[in-house]
């Protein structure tokens, strides 16, 4: 049966993104919302909307039973999980399968395999996909981890196999840090997903994060939809993404692309997903993990491929064969995405929340902004800090970069701190312009110091400009005052 009504088990910009494609295709949409989201746009734009509980995610967007109730009572035949929340929860995928709801994503079994970084790495090793050197399996305890760390040599990365979104991973440089880091990773992972199991990996220095979009239908046809470079990060979380990567040429793209197709087959992956790699400074690629869902940064790949990824997801979920072969796919132009977060760069990226009385969303040729913002909305402390994704396209990298700078300066968000000033600084650095990227870019090039200087200069320019404007204004008002006195006199005179 073809999908006719989709429940979107998410909120914010990604819920709106999914609604957009469904609307175009004439597919009905069902929104769910928490107390906090009563006034959110996804509630207004969906065909139907149902309240599912309190603000805390555990009481609403993570409440599987409640969401299942709504799916059944609303007659939804499919569910789109977005990213975050239940999107990579194989229990939820299984629950949907059992209830004959089409889960728009991979099968529960495949998701289970991808969700365990160690199991997934083992499957990759079998398929001859290169992975980051590290412990052959889970480490038993901190002492076991220490033994392995000394074998492979510091620095190493401690990772919970269930981690995600930059949580549950820690770099350690000696035995003492390892003992502390082990506890931190364990508690972060337990806080996030209720369990922890740790692996040790060699920490690769000056690496780039380069990932590939995988795409595989239910008949075993697979392609890759090119790469994205996501090396500009803070706390192991992505800030700016771009495609193509400055260090991937056609030959490399095809070489790694073939590995990616093998990776998708190795875990029997269906639908869209992402294979993440680290590229060491010597040019070698190492697989790190699969994200079994639609990726936050998918719009940049949409822009260079010309495809609507949500439509592709729906078609694959409907059992349709891929309408193209690898050789049909061509990459066109350059795209950049900036994740516009509500956070204070100077307070170690702490979330900044509250009402947004006014906002101006940038637009223009080849500018795309996926956002839940509207004047009068609120940035909630309960959810992700991502408010908007600003995406630009250009025929050249330079065109897309300058377009981004101009769009960033048009973006006005009143009431909360944002990452916009930081992005302006990054995009103006020679290192960024030259494609000299690495996951430690912010530290390596003292970007926060540069931002401080940029803001100071801006402040000075502003006060100079303000002073000049004040002088012009006062001249203008002086002459107006004189005129109006003259007029008043005339008027008075007339009346008399």
Q: Site mask, Mg ion, residues 246-285, x = CB under 5 A?
A: ------------------------------x---------
Q: Choose between 163 and 394: whose C-beta lies nearer to ligand ADP.
A: 163
Which residues within the stretch 281-300 sit at the binding site for ligand ADP (CB under 6 A)?
Answer: 288-289
Q: Does residue 169 bind ligand ADP (CB under 6 A)?
A: yes
Q: Tell me the sheet residues that pair with 16.
A: none
Give the C-alpha separation, 215 to 316, whole Å: 9
Region near ligand ADP per CB under 6 A, out of 195-203, 300-308, 351-359, 479-487: 195-203
List the structure tokens of 150.
């000394």
Q: Choose between 54 and 276: whose C-beta lies nearer to Mg ion.
A: 276
List the structure tokens of 357.
């009385």
Partner touching 236 among ligand ADP, Mg ion, none, CB below 5 to 8 Å by kind: ligand ADP
For the chain, the 3-state helix, strand and coil shares in percent, each to the nearest 5, are 45, 25, 30
Tell me, by CB under 5 A, how many residues bind Mg ion: 1
Q: How far is the CB of 172 from ligand ADP (least distance, A)?
A: 12
Region near ligand ADP per CB under 6 A, out of 19-27, 156-164, 346-354, 405-413: 156-164
* Sign, Cα dihedral of 38, 293, 232, 394: negative
Q: What DSSP letter does each residue of 5-62 carry, written as one string? A: EEEE---HHHHHHHHHHHHHHT-EEEEEEEGGGTT-HHHHHSSEEEEEE-SSGGGTTT
Q: Choose between 276 and 308: whose C-beta lies nearer to Mg ion.
A: 276
Partner touching 165 among Mg ion, ligand ADP, none, CB below 5 to 8 Å by kind: ligand ADP
- Phi-psi label, residue 186: left if phi above 0, alpha if psi -120 to 50, beta otherwise: alpha
Q: Does residue 276 bind ligand ADP (CB under 6 A)?
A: yes
Q: Choose between 17 and 209: whose C-beta lies nearer to ligand ADP.
A: 209
Q: Does residue 157 bind ligand ADP (CB under 6 A)?
A: yes
Q: How far is the CB of 116 from ligand ADP (least distance, A)?
A: 11
- Radius of gyration over every alpha carbon of the chain, rounded to an integer in angstroms: 25
**380 neighbors 365 (Cβ within 8 angstroms):** no
Q: Choose between 222 and 442: whose C-beta lies nearer to ligand ADP.
A: 442
Q: Does residue 119 bind ligand ADP (CB under 6 A)?
A: no
| Nearest residue to 202 (alpha-carbon basis) of 270, 134, 124, 128 | 134
Q: How far is the CB of 442 from Mg ion (least distance, A)?
A: 18
Q: Does residue 439 bind ligand ADP (CB under 6 A)?
A: yes
Give the C-alpha separation, 307 to 297, whole Å: 14
Region near ligand ADP per CB under 6 A, out of 60-68, 141-149, 201-209, 342-350: 201-209
Greatest Cα pair distance, the chain, in angstroms, is: 102
Q: How far is the CB of 268 from ligand ADP (least distance, A)?
A: 21
Q: Choose between 235 and 456: whose C-beta lies nearer to ligand ADP.
A: 235
Give the C-alpha separation, 112 to 203, whole Å: 26
Q: Which residue among the candidates 17, 216, 279, 293 is catalytic per the annotation?
A: 293
**55 neighbors 81 (Cβ within 8 angstroms):** no
Give the C-alpha separation, 320 to 215, whole Å: 13
Q: Tell me the sheet residues that pair with 157.
A: 171, 201
Asked if 170 is an active-site residue, the reply is no
**475 neighbors 482 (Cβ within 8 angstroms):** no
Region near ligand ADP per CB under 6 A, out of 37-45, 161-169, 342-350, 410-418: 161-169
Tell me, by CB under 6 A, how many residues bind ligand ADP: 20
Q: How far is the CB of 254 from Mg ion (least distance, A)?
A: 24
Contacts (Cβ under 8 Å, ≥6 apart) of 384: 12, 84
Neighbours of 208 (CB within 10 A): 24
Q: Choose between 36 and 229: whose C-beta lies nearer to Mg ion.
A: 229
**416 neighbors 379 (Cβ within 8 angstroms):** yes
Q: Choose between 236 and 378: whose C-beta lies nearer to ligand ADP.
A: 236
Q: How far is the CB of 340 from ligand ADP (least distance, A)?
A: 20
Judged by CB under 6 A, the residue of 17, 80, 209, 298 near ligand ADP is 209
Q: Does residue 132 bind ligand ADP (CB under 6 A)?
A: yes
Q: Site mask, ligand ADP, residues 226-255, x = CB under 6 A?
A: -------x--x-------------------
Q: What DSSP letter does each residue of 265-296 carry, written as one string? A: HHTT--EEEEEEEEE-TTS-EEEEEEE-S--T
| Nearest residue to 218 (alpha-carbon basis) of 304, 122, 102 | 102
List interacting residues with ligand ADP (CB under 6 A).
132, 157, 163-166, 169, 201-204, 207, 209, 233, 236, 276, 278, 288-289, 439
Catalytic residues: 293
Task: Note the residues at the interface with Mg ion (CB under 5 A).
Answer: 276
């Amino acid at each position: 049966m073809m999908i006719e009504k989709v429940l979107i088990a998410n909120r914010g910009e990604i819920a709106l993104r999914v609604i957009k494609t469904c609307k175009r295709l004439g597919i009905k949409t069902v929104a769910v919302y928490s107390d906090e989201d009563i006034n959110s746009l996804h509630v207004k734009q969906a065909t139907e909307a149902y309240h599912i509980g309190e603000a805390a995610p555990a009481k609403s967007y993570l409440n599987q039973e409640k969401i299942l109730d709504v799916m059944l009572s609303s007659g939804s035949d499919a569910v789109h999980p977005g990213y975050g929340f239940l999107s990579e929860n194989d229990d939820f995928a299984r629950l949907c399968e059992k209830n004959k709801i089409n889960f728009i994503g991979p099968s529960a079994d495949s998701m289970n395999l991808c969700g365990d970084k160690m199991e997934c790495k083992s499957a990759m090793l079998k398929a001859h996909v290169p992975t980051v050197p590290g412990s052959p399996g889970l480490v038993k305890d901190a002492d076991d981890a220490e033994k392995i760390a000394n074998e492979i040599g510091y620095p190493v990365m401690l990772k919970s196999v269930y981690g995600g979104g930059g949580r549950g991973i820690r770099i350690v440089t000696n035995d003492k840090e390892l003992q502390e880091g082990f506890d931190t990773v364990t508690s972060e992972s337990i806080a996030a997903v209720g369990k922890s199991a740790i692996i040790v990996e060699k920490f690769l220095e000056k690496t780039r994060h380069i990932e590939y979009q995988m795409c595989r239908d239910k008949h075993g046809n697979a392609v890759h939809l090119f790469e994205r470079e996501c090396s500009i990060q803070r706390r192991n979380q992505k800030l700016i993404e771009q495609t193509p990567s400055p260090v991937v040429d056609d030959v490399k793209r095809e070489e790694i692309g073939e590995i990616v197709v093998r990776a998708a087959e190795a875990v029997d992956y269906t639908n869209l997903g992402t294979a993440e790699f680290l590229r060491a400074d010597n040019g070698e690629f190492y697989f790190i993990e699969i994200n079994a869902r639609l990726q936050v940064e998918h719009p940049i790949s949409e822009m260079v491929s010309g495809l609507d990824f949500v439509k592709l997801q729906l078609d694959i979920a409907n059992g349709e064969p891929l309408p193209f072969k690898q050789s049909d796919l061509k990459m066109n132009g350059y795209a950049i995405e900036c994740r516009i977060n509500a956070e204070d760069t100077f307070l170690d990226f702490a979330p900044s929340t509250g009402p947004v009385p006014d906002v101006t969303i940038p637009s223009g040729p080849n500018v795309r902004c996926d956002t839940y913002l509207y004047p009068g909305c609120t940035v909630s402390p309960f959810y992700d800090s991502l408010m908007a994704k600003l995406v630009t396209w250009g025929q050249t990298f330079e065109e897309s970069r300058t377009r981004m700078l101009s769009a960033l300066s048009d973006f006005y968000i009143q009431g909360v701190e944002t990452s916009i000033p930081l992005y302006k600084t990054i995009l103006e650095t020679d290192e960024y312009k030259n494609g000299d990227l690495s996951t430690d870019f912010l530290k390596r090039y003292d970007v926060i110091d540069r931002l401080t200087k940029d803001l100071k200069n801006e402040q000075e320019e502003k006060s100079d400009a303000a002073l000049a404007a004040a002088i012009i204004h006062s001249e203008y008002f002086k002459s107006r005052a004189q005129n109006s006195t003259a007029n008043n006199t005339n008027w008075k005179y007339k009346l008399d």
